[in-house]
Chain A
Amino acid sequence: MAKLSEYAFVASMITTGLALALYLFYAVSGLRAARMATAGGPGASTPVGLISGPRTAAIGRYASILTWLATVFLLVSLVFRAVVTGHGPFANMYEFSMAFAFGVLLTYLYFERKYHQRILALVTLPVALGMLLYAATIPADIEPLVPALQNNLLLTVHVATAIVAYGSFAIAFAASYLFLLQTRHMIPVLATTAIGVGGAALGAITGGADGDKLALTYGMVGAGASLLILAIVDWITNRGTPADELASGRWGLPKPMVLDEIGYRAVVIGFPFLTLTIILGAVWAETAWGRYWGWDPKETASLVTWLIYGAYLHARVMRGWRGNRAAWLLVIGFLATLLTYFGNLIFQGLHAYGGLS
């Protein structure tokens, strides 16, 4: 069983990689078609999204099928593992990273079905793949649960709601990222991403599996910090995105208006789920430690995340904040989500899991 779980995990990782490659193909093929369509001179109306020629559409369909497969593999892996361990995926970072990736894939598929914007996969699938790769580098040992974690039902639900929230926030991040790419800030946004991905890759190469993760950390922190600076600069210099800019797009990417809507829809799912996660965490803390809130670093980070998305829900309906400014809040919200998630590695709070000492 444990072996089967591992095979399914590897299969899922490979399938996710292949799906991402196909989505890239799909994007290139579609973008080329879009460019040819808009090359008709100034004033040519920009298309709603990618122009799907039959070829592009076929690639897209295969990419979706692979994503479904990857999700099923991951589910199988999680189920087998749960059967072996006798509990939900919350005992260590390996299990929780798999669950995180599963949440991202699942919410992506939901949004793909609902909004037909496959381009979102270009941002969400790397997040899922990154989580899976990360899971692959850390010990997968099955260890007995420490007493505090022996609250099977509550913790399983706590984790399940957390991954739905995190998955939704990944979608919101993808949507806001593609939104910002189409505004004037595209070059800094791309550069920041390059720093982050480059730093992370450098870390993976130099740091190795569970060795020194310094470069990785610096890469991520660097990317996060520069995104934050960009956000602040944009908040100060730009007030909201005008309606005409929302309605037009660039390079055949989904229109900013559509991305704004998707980002909002994702938060409308993620926010209540995060609320529930925090409440269940408080219930658990109350039964295990006798206090519902203790400013434990992980608790605090989840509250920070919650506040940022709460702020976003207001920003989105405020004059001057619609569009780019609100979109930045989604980027920052996702940074906070990652901080909450990887917090275990930095914080030495009560949430410190086993398997990573």
Chain B
Amino acid sequence: MTHEVNSRPLPPAATTAPAAAARPSAMDRVDGGLEWLWHFISSMRVAMIIMLAIAVLGVFGSLLVQAPQAVLDDPAAKAEWLESVRPKYGGWTNVFDTVGLFQVFNSIMFRILVAALTISLIACSIHRIPGMIHTARNPRVDVGPAFFEHAPQHEAIVVRRSVEETREVVENVLRSRRYRTLSSVDGTVHIYADRFRLAPFAGLAGHLSLVVIMAGAIIGGMYGYRDSQFTLAEGQTLPVAAEPGVTIQLLDFTDRYDPTTGAPIDYASQVVLYKDGAEVLRHTVRVNDPVRYNGLSFYQAFYGAAATMSVKDDEGNVLMASEGVPLAWTTNDEGRKIGSFNIPGTPYVGWVTGTLGNGDTFIAPGQVRFELYTTGEGTLVDQKVINQGEAATIGNLTVTFERESQFTGLNIARDPGVPLIWIGSFLLFVGFVIRFTVPHKRIWGRIVSRPNGGAVVGMATLTHKDVTAGSEFEHVVNDIRTALAAPTQA
């Protein structure tokens, strides 16, 4: 990488000799190949190309309609889906499909690129760490004289003082500006001063945070749980599959609309959570206000009509008392709302079909149709259209349609990767902000005595002068100049 970054080259003498060059490899071929691979994967050029390639896929992914995963898993549904988008894309439909552009983010291409980026990020960081530690811990103090003539910013000051005295003044000025100073003497005094030497590690953290985020996404994908079709009618209590012993009950669902525009304003589900039958918490779930329990989160997702039903057996025992049945399905032919429930203590399933509203002669408003099937074979036992509030005998059961009600559709999720996502996001942001706002400032100095008394101070830095704004280096040099010009004490 260092060979590519040309904005901040190290001073000629300070270039950390590449490890590979220092010890010529014995195992030629393999080593050469590996080395090439290492260079390739940790190269910034390659990283940039991968990033741009992902961006190109992203453009397709955002401009083209993406097929839902459920559709892709089922060939028939997929064929149907392709037909539905054919009017839009015409002859391109098959091309896009073949290349995988209708499921860009699941495509092999995309996965390979993301994997490559992750590997590149890791390789890149590993590659950088030793050099970074070296620069922070034992930076090169003695740089050759040429550097003081060719560095992006450099200054020379001629003074009357002795070398030792000069050195003290220079170091004091640097320290008063909160620089750390290191020096070495070999006839010439070499000074190295820096500030914020740990700042470059923030950039490293920023890069590695992306690996943390990817890890979070992978963990979420592997160990996460999601049920985005969980329906719960008013009065109904259902077990939560992801958490044994936990049940959830819906007390009430409310939807509110703007009276003039009819735009939705609020969806609210009052729910109670039970663990082994004991209430653990109560919450009104809204669109922006999920309820969380033990790593599980419940989000408001959708809603619909339900029927509150009561069922008794032929001896008058109550099998089900005023419990809601979500009519969450829609019949294919007529578009009626329909839902089913297992009747406790019987081998039957009840199907409830709703009305289509005013003008429906088959199932009028205030009625539902009830069908009784056996659980196993699904044979129809009996069926009837029943009136609200009237007990009807169906099979050997007494069924009452108490009233119309509503159900809420919840999205239940457990994603153990989420904490990593937030940690990674935090590191990403903070890391790059520090990287951008706090530069590692480095200044080299060199003091040589002049043959006929006095000394020459050379100062240099690697940062280019900001083309329009002032430069820290200039300020430092000015301070040093002023301090050196002051009369010598005694």
CA distance A246 to B326 in the complex (A): 69
Interface residues of B in 221-279 (CB under 8 A from A): 226, 228, 258, 261, 263-267
Residues of B within 8 A of A144 (CB): 258, 261, 263, 265
A146 at the interface (CB under 8 A from B): yes
User: Which among A116, A268, A297 is the interface contact of B62 at CB below 8 angstroms?
Assistant: A297
What is the interface size of chain A, counting residues whose CB is below 8 A from a CB of the partner?
Answer: 56
- B258 near A261 with CB under 8 A, answer no
- A319 near B51 with CB under 8 A, answer no
CA distance A279 to B55 in the complex (A): 18
CA distance A115 to B467 in the complex (A): 9
CA distance A137 to B6 in the complex (A): 48
Interface residues of B in 1-40 (CB under 8 A from A): 4-8
Residues of B within 8 A of A318 (CB): 4-6, 44-45, 48
The 6 closest A-B pairs by CB, nearest first: A147-B287, A290-B299, A304-B58, A300-B62, A297-B62, A307-B55
- B432 near A272 with CB under 8 A, answer yes
Whether A343 touches B62, Cβ cut-off 8 Å, given contacts A272-B429, A282-B421, is: yes
Residues of B within 8 A of A261 (CB): 466-468
Interface residues of A in 256-287 (CB under 8 A from B): 257-258, 261, 268, 271-272, 275-276, 279, 282-284, 286-287
* B89 CB, nearest partner CB in chain A, Å: 14
B482 at the interface (CB under 8 A from A): no
B288 at the interface (CB under 8 A from A): yes
Whether A314 touches B411, Cβ cut-off 8 Å, given contacts A268-B436, A300-B62, is: no
Interface residues of B in 293-313 (CB under 8 A from A): 297, 299-301
Residues of B within 8 A of A145 (CB): 265
- B467 near A143 with CB under 8 A, answer no
Q: Which A residues contact B (CB, under 8 angstroms)?
A: 114-116, 143-148, 150-151, 255, 257-258, 261, 268, 271-272, 275-276, 279, 282-284, 286-293, 295, 297-298, 300-301, 303-304, 307-308, 310-311, 314-319, 322, 336, 339, 343, 346-347, 354
- A304 near B6 with CB under 8 A, answer no
B395 at the interface (CB under 8 A from A): no
Main SS at interface, chain B: mixed
CA distance A255 to B468 in the complex (A): 11
Q: Which B residues contact A (CB, under 8 angstroms)?
A: 4-8, 44-45, 47-48, 51-52, 54-55, 58-59, 61-63, 66, 105, 217, 226, 228, 258, 261, 263-267, 286-290, 297, 299-301, 411, 413, 415, 418, 421-422, 425, 428-429, 432-433, 436, 466-469
Residues of A within 8 A of B286 (CB): 147
User: Which among B45, B66, B297, B433 is the interface contact of A295 at CB below 8 angstroms?
Assistant: B66
Residues of B within 8 A of A346 (CB): 63
- A150 near B288 with CB under 8 A, answer yes
CA distance A131 to B422 in the complex (A): 34
CA distance A272 to B436 in the complex (A): 9
CA distance A317 to B425 in the complex (A): 25
Residues of A within 8 A of B425 (CB): 279, 282
- Could you name 23 residue pairs across A and B whose Cβ atoms are closer than 8 Å? A143-B258, A144-B261, A145-B265, A146-B264, A147-B266, A147-B267, A147-B286, A148-B288, A261-B467, A279-B425, A279-B428, A290-B301, A290-B411, A290-B413, A297-B62, A300-B58, A307-B51, A307-B55, A308-B52, A314-B47, A317-B6, A317-B44, A319-B4
Whether A258 touches B287, Cβ cut-off 8 Å, given contacts A311-B52, A346-B63, is: no
Main SS at interface, chain A: helix
Q: Which residue of A lies closest to B61 (CB)?
A: A300
- A287 near B288 with CB under 8 A, answer yes
Residues of A within 8 A of B59 (CB): 301, 304, 336, 339
Q: Which residue of B lies closest to A261 (CB)?
A: B467
- A315 near B287 with CB under 8 A, answer no
- A143 near B299 with CB under 8 A, answer no
* A315 CB, nearest partner CB in chain B, Å: 6
CA distance A275 to B427 in the complex (A): 11
* A240 CB, nearest partner CB in chain B, Å: 10
* B222 CB, nearest partner CB in chain A, Å: 16
Residues of A within 8 A of B429 (CB): 272, 275-276, 279
